[in-house]
Amino acid sequence: MAISSILGYPRIGADREWKKALEAFWSGKLDEPSFQSRLEEIRLGHLLKQREKGIDLIPVNDFSYYDHMLDTAAMFGIIPKRFRYEGGTVPLSVYYGVARGTKDAAASEMTKWFNTNYHYIVPELEGAVPVITENKPLAAYREAKEKLGIEGKPVIVGPLTFLKLSKGYAESETDAWLGRLLPLYVHILQELEQEGVKWVQLDEPILVTKLEDADNKRLKTAYETIAASVPGLNIMLQTYFESVENYQDIVSLPVQGIGLDFVHGLKGNIASLRAFGFPKDKILGAGIIDGRGIWKAPLRDKLGLLQELTNVVAPERLIVQTSCSLLHVPVTAKREAKLPPELQNALAFADEKLDELKLLTRALSSGVESIRDDLTHCDHDLEALELSDARNRQDVQHAVLELRSKKPQRKQPFEQRHIAQQKKWRLPILPTTTIGSFPQSAEVRKARQQWRKGEWSEERYEAFIREQIDIWIKLQEEIGLDVLVHGEFERTDMVEFFGEKLAGFAFTQFGWVQSYGSRCVKPPIIFGDVAFEQPMTVKETKYAQSQTKRPVKGMLTGPITIMNWSFVREDIPREHIAYQLAYALRQEVEELERAGIGMIQVDEPAVREGLPLKAEEQAEYLSWAVAAFRMTTCTVQETTQIHTHMCYCEFHDMIDSIEAMDADVISIETSRSHGELIHSFEENTYKLGIGLGVYDIHSPRVPKVEEMTSMIRRALRVLDPKLFWINPDCGLKTRGIEETVDSLRNMVEATRIARGKYTLKV
């Protein structure tokens, strides 16, 4: 008989209890014992819910105090020397110092977890001597068993994935590092085996990417070593986010189970299964419920897929599970009473996915007839959404079809535009600016809440926003910035703000997901055809420009970022959604230009994270992603300067695509990666305007002038000072007012020092 499982459950809680506990602890409102007690309560509550929902094999150790990669590094004592870790169990002060930075030490790099919007802390191996500081999976297993009677499935990041996603070692040191880590993994697993653990989930999502032959050999070595060391332990080698590469080699590894993604990796994994079958001595973890999407599963289709799988794998050797951890979706859809019925009824968040797993497992065990009514309800709910007016706007569909037939491009090449823009703006060499947002104080958040509740009138709220703009326009002038921004005080989130003003979007009340650390976002839902309805940013930007003689940038979020940071419909290709967004945003760009705004920033921080994991699919994605950006920006005059911004991704493999976007100025994060992105420009020529973020805004510290001077100096070795801008690496919404002002003052001072070495030649 088949059983059900998931790969992980959301940490944050239905009311973001986890986030609130972390932030209360960081601010000193919770002492450490109270904090530990609160997190235990949240953690056990999640396990109880899974048991009540009927999940057979419940994961443990998927819960984290910040991030699972950081947890693994801490378990092995891999802590950068600058945090002065002295051995033993890693204190929370050090753990959170690595994640967030301290007054004296910069935080470790943070980057995207494969092609998701979750960010992980990158382990730094340089100088580390790995040892076991604590057996976290064992502690999680014991807690679940002793306190709840749950026989849990410990979840651990696998050795190859952990190593490949870490930094601070040369390629030639890879085998040596695997040799250091493997004994630690073996020790952890041996203690789990001695405890009587039945199943351990070793996550190896790196196996869905293209690996070198040497890495495939390392994988074989690692799992042969593990198999020989823990012969009595069942290992589920778990993959997700795509189909595995080297299927035959992977399924021949000496493990007891293989977990495959039959949602996002359906095409490749099912083809491999059909061509090569599946080992008779292994369990198949069949990921058929989407762990990343929020739509109700078409249960009849899923049953058809399960039927095909059972033709290859006997039902008793099948675990019906999610395609990946449910970390990437909100907790429950049941509370979303304000959504249109046709939308609400088509949603399935984490808890609803647990129900779907139970239904499918029951159908396998007791026959399809046992869930007949559930199948009928599912069919009805999905059909109602498909036939809704929101998904069938002929005006939008025809307009986008026409736009797609034309090549989007600016009328003049960059070289000509640059001369015209320099003549118009007369900016100094190394112009300074910020990315867009300024601190949203408790006062700002309270005002917005009062306005949303109807306690404040529209007029009162607008007056308040203008006051905030006035304050920060004056501050920017006093600090000495060259290009200003209005501060985005009217915006909650860079995607939600635009989604609320465009047709085709819906917003949940409680649909929060973790982005990084305690940072939670509430992604919009793109459920219909997207359309521009009225100007969205003109009023505030035009007002800000009226308060200063310096240029003020209009601030928009780009089409690819809005798409990648939303939950999107699945009935049309993502490319078509991107073009609908681009068409709507183009109209906003044109409205800003008509209002006299001559610098417009269209942020695209999420372009890289949408890059397909399969190399053969990347060129097509980048082609239409670039086209969508250009479609948004190509109609402006040559003197209108288009900016964009990208952050927290590796860009070395897409510099050509970034240049093809043809933005007059792009700002890219470099500080959190300690300037490593500059190496990309040491190997690749970049001919457009560029600003490499010179300090990390996610760390609660004021960077020193010398730090930023050093970053600027290194960048100017490979980038043209006539095209170089200086800015923070991201928006400043989450920072405090005092630290923001002090950091920007230091940035301007670093710029002044750098300017002393160059003379602008127009």
CB 350 within 8 A of CB 326: yes
State the Cα–Cα distance between residues 12 and 10, nearest whole angstrom.
6
Nearest Cα residue to 488 out of 440, 534, 549: 440
Q: What is the pLDDT of residue 760?
A: 44
Strand partners, 287: 261, 321
Nearest Cα residue to 348 out of 390, 266, 289, 303: 289
Q: What is the pLDDT of residue 323?
A: 98
Determine the straight-line distance between the first and last CA of the chain, rounded to whole angstroms: 76
User: Which CATH topology does 3-8+48-80+109-386 take?
Assistant: TIM Barrel (3.20.20)
**Which pTM value belongs to this model?**
0.90
**Which amino acids are annotated catalytic?**
698
Coil, helix or strand for 259? strand
* Residue 22 Cα to chain centre, angstroms: 20
CB 149 within 8 A of CB 192: no
CB 98 within 8 A of CB 148: no
For CATH 3.20.20.210, list the domain ranges present in the chain: 3-8+48-80+109-386, 396-440+478-489+527-755
Nearest Cα residue to 223 out of 249, 248, 243, 205: 249
Q: What is the pLDDT of residue 761?
A: 37
State the Cα–Cα distance between residues 535 and 591, nearest whole angstrom.
7
Q: What is the pLDDT of residue 679?
A: 65
| Proportion of the chain above pLDDT 90, given as a percent | 84
State the Cα–Cα distance between residues 711 and 692, nearest whole angstrom.
9
Nearest Cα residue to 530 out of 324, 339, 390, 427: 390
Q: What is the pLDDT of residue 89?
A: 96
Residues of the chain with pLDDT under 50: 674, 760-762
Q: What is the pLDDT of residue 278?
A: 98
Q: What is the pLDDT of residue 724?
A: 92
CATH architecture of the region 396-440+478-489+527-755: Alpha-Beta Barrel (3.20)
Q: Measuring CA to CA, how many Å separate 631 from each of 269, 419, 558, 660, 687?
A: 35, 23, 11, 12, 21
